[in-house]
Amino acid sequence: MSEITHRQHTRPVKVGPLTIGGNNEVVVQSMTMSKTDDVEATVAEIHRLEEAGCQVVRVACPDMSAAEAIADIKKQINIPLVVDIHFDYRLALKAIEGGVDKIRINPGNIGKRWKVEAVVKAAKENNIPIRIGVNAGSLEKSILEKYGYPTAEGMVESALHHIQILEELDFYDIIVSMKASDVNLAVEAYEKAAQAFDYPLHLGITESGTQFSGTIKSSAGLGILLHKGIGNTVRISLSADPVEEVKVARELLKSFGLAANAATLISCPTCGRIEIDLISIANEVDEYIQKIQAPIKVSVLGCAVNGPGEAKEADIGIAGARGEGLLFRHGEILRKVPEETMVEELKKEIDKLAEEHKQK
Ligand code: SF4
């Protein structure tokens, strides 16, 4: 497994069996779309997310029937479960009783002190962290009045206000998000937050848009932060099937060498020299390697002109050659394969390599 290094120093916080922060891997999260009290649908959705590589899943908890469903959901899934609660401390207590692994709630919005204390006490007793979710769109009135409009400074001030409430109760298992739908604002807020405190940061550009535009916005913003070593867990917010969020998050982490044990694809942009149906082959191989848990680089090239040279970068690859393909391993030609069986042959070699990595 490749070591993830160069992270900014943050406090390690346990979320179920995982640790977020410290020098640990950046964790991929997503959120379900099903009504949480529809246990069957929520569990099925979580299983699909798990399969796609989601490591922590969040569910909305808008009412008591959702909070009551937590215990049933928790029993049927394998990854840590987070509940998203706004204001109502009773929902937090019920979800904690149901075995949830983390709650997202802003202590400053819970209301009376004794209610905050009750939630913190239950979280402490059950070793559950609290995520403070600062959102540019819902900053406290006093902060908005002070700054006039949502600013990065105002967002940090809001985070510090919620952090202080928890710290006063001797609670430090805190994770913080600083979301905004404006990319520049979100980046600035996260940068300032990373300077202001050392709690792990949950990255996200909120309401970023459709699968296409949201992928670009999220990658642009989160890319800047990840490159600087900021961010310990990510959620890509898309108006799309949440499985797509996981795929984008994983690919983003792979781009920065932050996903241990993930396979990556190198595929050529195609040109007039193309000898095979490169685009569909690349898509099929890309889909296949999503589930491969080994740091393998796979290349798919449209022709053999630059094939051996370009394929050197990859552990395994294929270059098109008039109705057939040259199969490469570490830049050396293994054999020629007909176009019809090319993808199957490549998949077999990928599996072999993955197996070899497992044995190491
Ligand atoms: Fe063109 Fe071949 Fe390069 Fe693909 S690998 S871009 S087909 S020259």
CATH 3.20.20.20 in the chain, residues?
13-255
Q: Is 306 in the pocket of ligand 1 (CB under 6 A)?
A: yes
Q: Which amino acid is at 58?
A: R
**Mean pLDDT, residues 277-287 taken together:** 94
Q: What is the pTM of this model?
A: 0.92
How does pLDDT run across 304-313, given as a tens digit for each residue? 887 666 667 7
CA 258 to chain centre: 11
CATH 3.30.413.10 in the chain, residues?
264-359
Pocket test for ligand 1, best of 266, 267, 273, 275 (most atoms within 8 A of CB): 273
Cα(218) to centroid(ligand 1), Å: 30
Cα(300) to centroid(ligand 1), Å: 10
Using alpha carbons, select from 314, 315, 336 the residue that is nearest to residue 325: 336
**Protein residue with least CA distance to atom 1, ligand 1:** 271
Using alpha carbons, select from 221, 218, 224, 178 the residue that is nearest to residue 201: 178
Percent of the chain topping pLDDT 90:
83
The rounded distance, in Å, linking the Cα atoms of 165 and 148 is: 24
Q: Is 318 in the pocket of ligand 1 (CB under 6 A)?
A: no
Assigned CATH for 264-359: 3.30.413.10
| CATH (one of 3.40.50.720, 3.20.20.20, 3.30.300.210, 3.90.550.10) for 13-255 | 3.20.20.20
Cα(105) to centroid(ligand 1), Å: 51
268 is in an annotated binding site: yes
Pocket test for ligand 1, best of 266, 267, 268, 299 (most atoms within 8 A of CB): 268
pLDDT class for 331, splitting at 50, 70, 90? confident
**Mean pLDDT, residues 341-345 taken together:** 93
Interface predicted TM-score (ipTM): 0.99
Q: Where are the beta strands (DSSP E) in the chain?
A: 13-15, 18-20, 27-31, 56-60, 81-84, 102-104, 130-135, 174-179, 201-203, 233-235, 264-267, 297-301, 316-320, 324-329, 332-338
Confidence check: pLDDT of 3 > 80: no
